[in-house]
A and B are shown apart, each in its own frame.
Chain A
Amino acid sequence: MNYFQLFNLPAQFDLDLTELGSRYLQLQRRFHPDQHAAGSERDRLMAVQQTANINDAYHSLKQPLLRAEHLLALRGLKISHEQRSFTDPSFLMQQMELREQLAEIEQSDDADAVIDSIERQLQQQKKQLLQQLSAALQAQTAEQDQQAADLIRKLKFFFKLQQELELTEQQLQD
C-alpha cells in the first residue's frame, strides 16, 4: 500500500507534518467504525480495516526513518527486515567510542556534562545524516537510493544510541 497516496500527499521525504496530522484526523473521522455502525456487516469490516491502515500509515509517515524506508520500498528497495551486518569500520569505530563514553557516564564526576556532550554529538550527527538522506532521496536514482539505504542504516545506530542515552539519564535520576 502507498501510504502517501492514502493521505493524498506527495511521495517525498520532506513532509509537512502539520498537514499530515490534520489529514490523519480527517481520515480517522471519516472511517471511524461509529460512523459505519448503521452500515452492513461488510461496510463495518471495511471501516475497521481502513482505520487500521490509516493508523499504520500515520505511524510510518510521521517517523523520518520509517518514512524513508517506505519511500524506498515504493521504489522497489526493501530494507526494513534485512539481517545483513553493517561493516563500515570507521563508522562502527565511532559508534563504539560513543558507546564507551556512554558506559563511562556512571563513573564520571560530572555526569551531566558528559551527557550534554554526547547529546550534542548525537544531535549534530543525526541532523547531518538526515540532511544527506533527504538529498539522496530527492535524486531518485538507483545509486542514490542505495546511498539513502546506507544512510538509514547509519541513522538507526544513532537512534538506538539516543534511546540508550535516555535510559542512562533515567537510571541516574533514580
Chain B
Amino acid sequence: MAYSNKVIDHYENPRNVGSFDKDDASVATGMVGAPACGDVMKLQIKVNADGIIEDAKFKTYGCGSAIASSSLVTEWVKGKSLAEAQQISNTDIAQELALPPVKIHCSILAEDAIKAAIADYKQKHGG
C-alpha cells in the first residue's frame, strides 16, 4: 500500500519523539492502543499556568500511519489551549495525511490519545 508523502515525511522525520517526566505536575499523559493491530501510543503534553500547551511529545509503536498521526498531533497542539486541542478530530488528521480508509483507525488512535492526555491533565488538576 502506498503511503502519502506527508506520512512518509512524518515517519522518516518524526517530530517530538520522546517522553516528559510523568510525575511533573504540568505534564499529562494519554495512553491508547488499537487491539486490531497491536499498536500502542503514548502522547504527553506540557501545559503552562495559562492553560496553554507549551510542548508535546509522543512515543508510538505501530505502523507508519500511526507514527505519522501522533507526530502530526504533537505539532498541532503546541500553542493551543486545552479546549482548542480537544477539538482536533480524526477526520482532520486523516485528511491532512491523506490516509486510506484501512488506516483511518490510526487517526482515531491519535485523536483518542490527545483526548486521553487532556482528561489526565484535568484529573490531575481537579476538574
| B17 in contact (CB, < 8 A) | no
> In the complex, what residues of A have CB within 8 A of residue B35's CB?
82, 86, 152-154, 156-157
A92 CA to B31 CA in the complex, in Å?
7
> In the complex, what residues of B have CB within 8 A of residue A163's CB?
38
| B32 in contact (CB, < 8 A) | yes
> In the complex, what residues of B have CB within 8 A of residue A93's CB?
31
| A96 in contact (CB, < 8 A) | yes
Chain A, residue nearest B59 (CB): A96
Q: Do B40 and A87 have beta carbons less than 8 Å apart? A: no
Q: Do B104 and A95 have beta carbons less than 8 Å apart? A: no
Chain B, interface size: which category?
20 to 34
| A29 in contact (CB, < 8 A) | no
The main secondary structure of chain B at its interface with chain A is: mixed
A127 CA to B31 CA in the complex, in Å?
25
Q: Do A85 and B36 have beta carbons less than 8 Å apart? A: no
> In the complex, what residues of A have CB within 8 A of residue B37's CB?
160
Chain A, interface size: which category?
20 to 34
Q: Do A86 and B34 have beta carbons less than 8 Å apart? A: yes
Q: Do A85 and B33 have beta carbons less than 8 Å apart? A: yes
Q: Do B38 and A156 have beta carbons less than 8 Å apart? A: yes
Residues of B at under 8 Å CB distance from A? 29, 31-38, 40, 42, 59, 61, 104-105, 108-109, 112-113, 116
Question: 27 A-B pairs, CB-CB below 8 angstroms?
Answer: A82-B35, A82-B36, A83-B36, A83-B104, A83-B105, A85-B33, A85-B112, A86-B33, A86-B35, A87-B32, A87-B112, A89-B29, A91-B33, A92-B31, A92-B32, A92-B40, A92-B42, A95-B61, A96-B31, A96-B42, A99-B40, A152-B35, A153-B35, A156-B38, A157-B35, A157-B40, A163-B38
